[in-house]
Amino acid sequence: MNKSLRIVFFGTPEFATGVLDTLNKSHHTIVAVVTAPDKPAGRGRKINQSDVKKYAVENELPVLQPTNLKSEDFLKELASYNADLQVIVAFRMLPQAVWKMPELGTFNLHASLLPQYRGAAPINWAIINQEKKTGVTTFFIDEKIDTGAIIANQETNIAPLEDVGSLYGRLMAMGASLSLETVNNIAAGTITTTIQKDSQDLKDAPKLNNSNTLIDFKQPASTVDALIRGLYPYPVAKATLINKEAMVVKIHKSTVIEKDHKMTPGSFVIEEGKMVIACGKYMIEIDEIQIPNKKRMKVKDLLNGYTFDPDARFDVA
């Protein structure tokens, strides 16, 4: 067995807890955990802790929640843990004073096959863009985002109708395994690195927002369905429904209907408890939908108490 390393772990969402748990249960020592500050969330503005903080508290690990990663107080406290190595999973960009601190460096786990899909939402965009494969990568941090020297990666196929929920869980398990392997190899002094090569065909994974999560029904049905799957179960694809007045609805589940039509994209028909929307090519059936002030439900259940105007349609970009 290689030597035990002292590790400071940086992370915030659920995805990071899989790595933290695996490292914490290994022969290495998590000396501290750095995560986002608590913040109010939801209608009641209840103070919400990150998934990583919840795990750290439950496992009695010291927690740091800096608002300023460059502050002298934080840097002094971080240095006091005398870490050999820092591991980053789904955290914000680090200043050089932080990532250069430990003797053995700082590495990041990213949920894509770098250099493809650098950015905040790599799992979502791999499905949205109908990729056939993706994976996880460990790399040493440098001055830019997701550009450092690659240590190791592991790939997996994306199933034809896969959504983020299933891919997320698989990549979390793969990422935990690869991160421990990377730590072990760093401890043993056996790693080699590969410089990332840039090219013109690189795809980014920008942060999801109200604009890039909105469905455009002028696109082919397969593209619309990929967007819906790529945003499920979070943050969920949206569409603007014109039913006497405009409203933003959430579309959770869909099925491609390979049927030619002469309808205007965004127009729809309701037959036998089904809602089928015309796309730029073919049609798409909406299986689960959520309209404002109502819970998510199957379309057939919505139709039991909700009526559509004869001129109702979905807006297109």
Q: Is 37 annotated as a binding residue?
A: no
Sign of CA dihedral 260, 269, 262, 226: negative
Helix, strand, coil shares of the chain, percent, nearest 5, are: 25, 30, 45
174, amino acid identity: M
Q: Which two tokens stand for residue 305?
A: 């108490």
Helix axes 164-188, 14-24, angle to 10 degrees: 40
Q: Is 113 annotated as a binding residue?
A: yes
48 neighbors 41 (Cβ within 8 angstroms): yes
Q: Where do the DSSP E strands lie in the chain?
A: 6-11, 29-34, 39-41, 46-48, 63-64, 85-89, 106-110, 118-119, 133-140, 150-157, 204-205, 237-243, 245-257, 268-271, 274-278, 283-290, 297-298, 313-314
Q: Is 194 helix (H, G, I), strand (E, B) or coil?
A: strand
d(CA 186, CA 85): 9
Q: Is 112 annotated as a binding residue?
A: yes
Q: Which residues are annotated as a binding site?
A: 112-115
Q: Which residues are annotated as a binding site for (6S)-5,6,7,8-tetrahydrofolate?
A: 112-115
